[in-house]
């Protein structure tokens, strides 16, 4: 095995273990795949610009690239992430060089996630922050899917109005 192969980082979408294994457990059968939970956590994280760094020991790998059900939306997801991240960094969008450099640090068109290691770590942080926000919307973990969806939609709509 060559050095490049030996040290190549395997990129993956990661989620808080307690989110997947405990918090969503009563409604998880309503989701087609685990990535649905990741996506539900990611959206409020991105919209609110809320990130949370977690050590890998507190997270679990879901998948190494976009699942088939999300492949068509993958570029939209990456675009939403880039918009949030570049705005948070205060990038001047009229400065093409600055924009190109910033995007280059996050995007890798040949990876399974379309992101660099840095981009993926930041995206996962938005998912972790989004889960923290979702959990704050409820007194306890959700037991009924329809109640969860109703509250989730109401709270996400409030965030979008920021």
The residue range of the domain holding 90 is 11-148
Tell whether 1 is covered by a domain.
no
Verdict on whether the full-model pTM lies above 0.85: yes
Kindly state whether residue 61 falls inside one of the protein's structural domains.
yes
- Find, among 11, 15, 12, 10, the residue nearest to 45 by Cα: 15
Residue 73 lies inside a defined structural domain of this protein = yes
Give a yes or no: residue 5 inside a domain.
Answer: no
Give how many domains the chain has, as a whole number: 1
Q: Is 10 helix (H, G, I), strand (E, B) or coil?
A: coil
Predicted confidence pLDDT, tens digits, the chain (162 residues): 344 433 344 568 999 999 999 999 999 999 999 899 999 999 999 999 999 999 989 999 988 889 999 999 999 999 999 999 999 999 999 999 999 999 999 999 888 889 999 999 999 999 999 999 999 999 999 999 999 999 999 999 999 765
- With respect to residue 66, please indicate whether it lies within any of the assigned structural domains: yes
The candidate with the shortest Cα–Cα distance to 117, out of 101, 128, 105, 100, is 105
| In a domain? residue 72 | yes
DSSP string covering 57-68, please? GGEEEEESS--G
């Amino acid at each position: 095995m060559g050095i490049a192969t030996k040290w190549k980082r395997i990129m993956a979408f990661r989620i808080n273990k307690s989110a997947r294994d405990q918090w969503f457990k009563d409604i998880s059968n309503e989701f087609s795949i685990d990535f649905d939970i990741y996506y539900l956590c990611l959206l409020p994280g991105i919209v609110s610009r809320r990130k949370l760094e977690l050590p890998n020991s507190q997270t679990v790998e879901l998948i190494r690239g976009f699942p088939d059900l999300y492949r068509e939306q993958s570029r939209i997801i990456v675009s939403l992430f880039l918009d949030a991240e570049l705005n948070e960094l205060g990038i001047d969008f009229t400065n093409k060089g600055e924009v190109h450099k910033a995007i280059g640090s996050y995007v890798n068109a040949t990876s399974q996630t379309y992101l660099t290691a840095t981009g993926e770590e930041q995206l996962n942080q938005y998912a972790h922050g989004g889960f923290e926000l979702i959990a704050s919307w409820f007194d306890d973990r959700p037991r009924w899917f329809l109640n969860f969806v109703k509250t989730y939609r109401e709270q996400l709509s409030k965030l979008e109005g920021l």
